[in-house]
């Protein structure tokens, strides 16, 4: 049977499922049933989800959990997190409690500028292009007024447009490098619409200018950049080294080992990638819960981590005069209006839980989630090791894989409070009860 089809998107949902289950699955009924199990009985809600993308067959669940007790700039938050990894929410909650008892998190917005570019090629005299651009810039901005008027009323809009000569990197390559302030919108649609308008006006004015009869201009593409090093937020925690002392932990020793772990992630890319992955466990979970674009955030963050020419830790630490300070600077282009924010009921719910933050506040909350996550990871790694806590949280997944019933789960949970969790230990424990 052919595994190729044309006109798939025109089929109804059930026709699509029929074709897929006939073509790719050995058990048609079972495969169909899995998809149907996740359909929402509320037809309107299901339709909303169906219409987010093309070819929707069903819904793909992730758990939505919360990490309470975050004290940020003196205000308490419970942070929503959508994530499948078992230990992330527990780690965030632990770090929130820990720092809540040591003055909480402080945050600062370092910038909110976003970037877009019109990429084009041009053959001709460079000075003429520069003077043409200087004379045309005001027209570009004026022609985009119908797009920018509302944003300007609220205090945002186009900040600047510059002509950039990139011909040293690539023959005939130039850009209009544009800066925007998009306030509470993530701004992708706003920026892309402005850029496409700039490109149109630029080309029109160019073609009308007799100086360029012998030259060629070709607009290649107009698109925002997800690299946003000037849409930046800092989150930090700080306390005296003594305050880091706990029952099995000497504050001074802990601070020194912690700082060494961060220093390693600053110089060793293999470690830095895992270190930053742990930060993104916290960041992505809140980005997802608030309906933001985690791919955009991921791309921008990792580019930022490489800005010095090698991939480095996003977090940093100092110990000065017995004061331990731990911070993150992270670029986050987020929206609290537009996109899914008013559409997805769980996103709306998350915003209410967060007390309706604007984009700047959301940047601060999410940076804190990343810093907290990294603190929890480094604390575990440099003290007990990561597996103890991780496997404890993973226990339920192993029990579910073994189809454990509620009583088996209860017995296992009690037993593994005092015994190390490994996959084989859980299997033998369950087998033992069953026999
Ligand atoms: C696991 O998801 C994340 C960690 O590996 C992060 C780290 O190593 O810092 C624990």
Pocket test for ligand 1, best of 275, 384, 389, 390 (most atoms within 8 A of CB): 275
Calculate mean pLDDT across residues 296-310. 98
Burial class (CB in 10 A: 0-12, 13-18, 19+), 299: middle
Pocket test for ligand 1, best of 94, 261, 278 (most atoms within 8 A of CB): 278
Tell whether ligand 1 has an atom less than 6 A from the beta carbon of residue 386.
Answer: yes
Contact between 79 and 66 under an 8 Å Cβ cutoff? The reply is yes
- The number of CA neighbours under 13 Å toward the Cβ of 53 is 6
Q: How far is CA 12 from CA 25, 27, 48, 88, 330, in A?
A: 19, 21, 16, 38, 43
pLDDT of residue 340: 86
Q: For 87-141, how does the pLDDT look when each residue is reduced to its tens digit (9 = 90+)?
A: 999 999 999 999 999 999 999 999 999 999 999 999 999 999 999 999 999 999 9
Q: Which residues contact 284 (CB under 8 A, 6 or more apart)?
A: 83, 294, 297, 298
Minimum CA distance residue for ligand 1 atom 4: 278
Strands, E, within 126-243: which ranges?
157-165, 173-181, 216-225, 232-240
Q: So which residues are the catalytic ones?
A: 85, 277, 293, 390
State the DSSP string of 268-308.
-HHHHHHHHHHHHHHHHHHHHHTT--HHHHHHHHHHHHTTT
pLDDT of residue 155: 98
pLDDT of residue 174: 98
Minimum CA distance residue for ligand 1 atom 3: 278
- In the sheet with 173-181, reading across from the earlier edge strand, the strands are 157-165, 173-181, 113-123, 216-225
**Residue 1 pLDDT greater than 80, yes or no:** no
Minimum CA distance residue for ligand 1 atom 7: 275
DSSP state of 53: S
**Which has the closest alpha carbon to 67: 78, 56, 83, 54?**
78
**Domains in the chain, ordered, with CATH?**
8-50 (no CATH), 64-110+232-384 (3.90.770.10), 114-224 (3.30.70.420), 390-434 (no CATH)
pTM here?
A: 0.93
267 Cα to the center of ligand 1, angstroms: 17
CA pair distance 323, 162, nearest whole angstrom: 44
Q: For 395-404, how does the pLDDT look when each residue is reduced to its tens digit (9 = 90+)?
A: 999 999 999 9
Pocket test for ligand 1, best of 282, 314, 371, 381 (most atoms within 8 A of CB): 381
230 Cα to the center of ligand 1, angstroms: 27
Tell whether ligand 1 has an atom less than 6 A from the beta carbon of residue 370.
Answer: no
């Amino acid at each position: 049977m052919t595994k190729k089809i044309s006109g798939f998107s025109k089929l109804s949902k059930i026709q699509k499922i029929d074709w897929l289950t006939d073509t790719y699955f050995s058990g048609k009924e079972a495969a169909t049933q899995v998809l149907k199990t996740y359909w929402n009985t509320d037809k309107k809600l299901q339709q909303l989800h169906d219409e987010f993308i093309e070819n929707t067959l069903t819904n793909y669940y992730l758990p939505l959990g919360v990490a309470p007790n975050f004290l940020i700039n003196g205000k308490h938050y419970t942070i929503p997190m959508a994530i499948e990894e078992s230990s992330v929410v527990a780690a965030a909650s632990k770090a929130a409690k820990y720092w809540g008892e040591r003055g909480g998190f402080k945050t600062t917005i370092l910038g909110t500028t976003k970037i877009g570019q019109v990429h084009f090629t041009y053959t001709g005299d460079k000075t003429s292009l520069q003077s043409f651009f200087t004379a045309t810039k005001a027209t570009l901005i004026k022609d985009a007024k119908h797009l920018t008027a509302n944003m300007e009323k609220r205090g945002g809009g186009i900040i600047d447009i510059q002509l950039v000569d990139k011909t040293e990197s690539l023959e005939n390559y130039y850009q209009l490098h544009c800066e925007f302030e998009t306030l509470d919108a993530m701004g992708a649609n706003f920026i892309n619409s402005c850029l496409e308008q700039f490109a149109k006006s630029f080309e029109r004015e160019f073609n009308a200018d007799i100086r360029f009869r012998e030259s060629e201009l070709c607009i290649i593409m107009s698109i925002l950049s997800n690299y946003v090093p000037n849409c930046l937020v800092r989150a930090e925690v700080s306390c005296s080294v003594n305050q880091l002392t706990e029952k099995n932990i000497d504050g001074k020793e802990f601070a020194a080992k912690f700082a060494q772990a961060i220093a390693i992630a600053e110089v060793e890319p293999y470690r830095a990638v895992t270190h930053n992955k742990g930060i993104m466990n916290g960041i992505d979970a809140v980005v997802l819960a608030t309906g933001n674009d985690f791919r955009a955030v991921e791309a921008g963050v990792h580019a930022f981590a490489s800005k010095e020419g090698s991939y480095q830790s996003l977090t940093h630490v100092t110990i000065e005069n017995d004061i331990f300070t731990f911070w993150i600077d992270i670029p986050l282009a987020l929206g609290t209006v537009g996109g899914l924010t008013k559409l997805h009921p769980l996103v709306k719910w998350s915003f209410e839980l967060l007390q309706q933050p604007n984009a700047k506040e959301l940047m601060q909350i999410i940076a804190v989630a990343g810093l907290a996550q990294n603190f929890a990871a480094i604390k575990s790694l440099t003290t007990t090791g990561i597996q103890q806590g991780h496997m404890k949280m993973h226990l339920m997944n192993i029990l579910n894989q073994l189809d454990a019933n509620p009583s088996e789960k209860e017995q296992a949970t009690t037993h593994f409070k005092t015994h190390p969790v490994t996959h084989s230990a859980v299997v033998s424990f369950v087998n033992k009860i069953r026999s």
